[in-house]
Amino acid sequence: MFLLIAAAVTVCYVGVCWWRPFRRCRRCDGTGRRRSLMLRARRACRRCDGTGEHLRPGRIALNYLRELHDKGTPR
């Protein structure tokens, strides 16, 4: 039963990574801007490069596996 639940959760997460590959940046809360320590100025978030979102870890893994597959197949 546990393996069935784990497999279902894994399939659902892969589906989410395929359907919505980006998630909101936790550091800037999705705004793309953060307060700096000096003068309380607002600057672009370094973690997401000011976009407010970044790739999910599962999508990074899927992209890596796709690259491995593409490099291994001769064309």
Does the model's pTM come out above 0.85? no
What's the domain count of the chain? 1
In a domain, 2, yes or no: no
In a domain, 66, yes or no: yes
Question: How far is the C-alpha of 32 from the C-alpha of 46, rounded, in Å?
Answer: 9
43 to each of 17, 22, 39, how far by Cα in Å? 29, 21, 11
In a domain, 40, yes or no: yes
The answer to whether 54 touches 47, Cβ cutoff 8 Å, is yes
Average pLDDT, the chain: 87
In a domain, 38, yes or no: yes
Neighbouring CB atoms inside 10 A of 55's CB total 15
pLDDT value, residue 75:
62
List the domain range (segments joined by +) for residue 38: 25-75
In a domain, 48, yes or no: yes
In a domain, 72, yes or no: yes
